[in-house]
Structure 1
Amino acid sequence: MKKLLAWKEAYLQNEDGATAIEYGLIAAGIALAIAASVFAFGGDLATMFSSMETNIGAAATATSAMDQVQ
């Protein structure tokens, strides 16, 4: 009986897996925050990158035209 009680106490005191579970919960929370951000701001980001693409293309064209003049 003493062995059983000692085993129960040792089992309840064992926290080996707690850290892994905590890190898993943190990783899941971060993944959820990233997914929510992409869902919320995805359209705005697409518009911003499209605008940047247009501006960079216009700058490259202007620079190329200036090189040909000189």
Structure 2
Amino acid sequence: MNRLAAHLTHFSSLAHSAARDFIQDEDGVTVVEIILVLVVLISLVVIFRKQLTNIVKDILDRAARDARGV
């Protein structure tokens, strides 16, 4: 029984250590990085709005033409 208790205590301390390390980990993607990526993407869309609109219209026109042929 003492051996089981020792293993449980050891496992508990390992779990506690792993949880503490997970909470203190700063290697993940932060909110600031996500916001910066969104700002860049939105800026690109605004800059190339005309070209993107033309591409989407062309794709939709092609899809409509192909659909009529079926």
Q: TM-score w.r.t. structure 2 length?
A: 0.48
Higher Rg of the two aligned structures: 1
More helix by share: 1
Q: TM-score w.r.t. structure 1 length?
A: 0.48
